[in-house]
Chain A
Amino acid sequence: MKYALLLYGREEAWAQASEAERAAAYAAHEEFGRLLAARDAERGGEELAASATATTLRRSGEDVVLSDGPYAETVEQLGGIYFVEAADLDEALELARACPSEVVEVRPVVEMAGD
Chain B
Amino acid sequence: MTDVGDRLDQAWRRYWPRLVAGLAARFRDLGLAEDAAADAFAAASRVWPVRGVPDEPMAWLTTAATRRAVDRVRRERVRARSLPLLLVDEGDDDDDLLRLVFTCCHPALSVTSQVALTLRYVLGVPTAEVAALLTVAESAMAARLTRARAKLSGAGVAYRVPSPEELPQRLSAVLSVVYLAFTRGYAPRRGGEVASVEVAADAIALGRMLGDLMPGEPEVRALSALMMLQHSRRDARVDADGGLVLLPDQDRGLWRMGEVAEAVRSLRGLVRAGVTGGRYFLEACIAAEHCVAGRPQDTDWRRIAGLYARLEVLTGSPVVRVNRAVAVAEVEGPQAGLDLLEGVDGLLPRFHLLWAVRADLAGRLGRRDEAVAAYRRALESVTGAAQRRFLEDRLARWESQPEGS
Contact = CB atoms under 8 A, between A and B. Distances in A.
A binds B: yes
A1 B84 CA distance: 12
Interface string B139-158: 00000000000000011111
B396 interface: no
Nearest to A90: B158
A106 B108 CA distance: 10
A3 B106 CA distance: 18
Contacts, number: 27
B155 A108 contact: yes
B96 to A, nearest CB: 17
A1 B153 CA distance: 12
B154 A108 contact: yes
Contacts of A30: none
Interface residues of B, number: 11
B292 interface: no
B381 to A, nearest CB: 32
Interface in A67-115: 86-90, 92-93, 106, 108
B87 interface: yes
B140 to A, nearest CB: 25
Nearest to A3: B156
A93 B158 contact: no
Contact of B108 (A1, A87, A89): A89
Nearest to B170: A90
B166 interface: yes
A89 B162 CA distance: 12
A86 B155 CA distance: 11
A66 B157 CA distance: 39
Contact of A88 (B154, B156, B166): B156
Contacts of B108: 89, 93
A96 B156 CA distance: 15
A86 B156 CA distance: 9
B166 A89 contact: no
Contacts of A106: 155
Interface string A36-52: 00000000000000000
Between A1, A88, A89, A106, the greatest number of chain B beta carbons within 10 A of the residue's beta carbon is seen for: A89
11 contacts: A1-B87, A3-B156, A88-B87, A88-B157, A88-B158, A88-B160, A89-B106, A89-B108, A89-B158, A90-B166, A106-B155
Given A88-B156, A89-B106, A90-B158, 6 more contacts: A88-B157, A88-B158, A89-B157, A93-B108, A106-B155, A108-B154
Interface of A: 1, 3, 86-90, 92-93, 106, 108
Interface of B: 87, 106, 108, 154-158, 160, 162, 166
Q: A-B pairs with the 6 shortest C-beta distances?
A: A88-B158, A1-B156, A89-B156, A89-B157, A88-B156, A89-B155
